[in-house]
Amino acid sequence: MTETKRFRCIKCGEESPRKLHEEPDKSKVLYYSMQGTPVYKNKIRCGSCGTIFDKT
Ligand SMILES: [Zn+2]
């Protein structure tokens, strides 16, 4: 079970977890927490080419 966090850049093919960072996509609010804080959908940003893509 080591495949839990395995992403690959759709543009340059970068696979290193150290280069691929999860970050919130602030244009997509998933829901609001009970405190009223928005919870965003997470996206992956490639540190090599700067592409931002969905976790799929
Ligand atoms: Zn890339």
Which stretches of the chain are assigned E, i.e. beta strand?
20-32, 38-46, 52-54
Structural domain total, the chain? 1
Å from CA of 39 to ligand 1 middle: 25
What is the domain extent for residue 44? 20-54
Whether 12 is in a domain gets the answer: no
CA of residue 9 to ligand 1 center, whole Å: 5
Distance 38 CA to ligand 1 centre (A): 28
11 inside domain: no
- The confidence score (pLDDT) of residue 4 equals 61
Whole-number Å distance between alpha carbons of 24 and 1:
25
In this predicted structure, what is the pLDDT of residue 55? 84
- What per-residue confidence (pLDDT) applies to 5? 66
**Domain-located, residue 36:** yes
Task: For residue range 35-56, list pLDDT tens digits in order.
Answer: 999 999 999 999 999 999 998 7
Does any domain span residue 30? yes
Asked whether residue 15 is assigned to any structural domain, the reply reads no
Q: How far apart are CA 36 and CA 40, in angstroms?
A: 12
Mean pLDDT of the chain: 90
Is the pTM higher than 0.85? The answer reads no
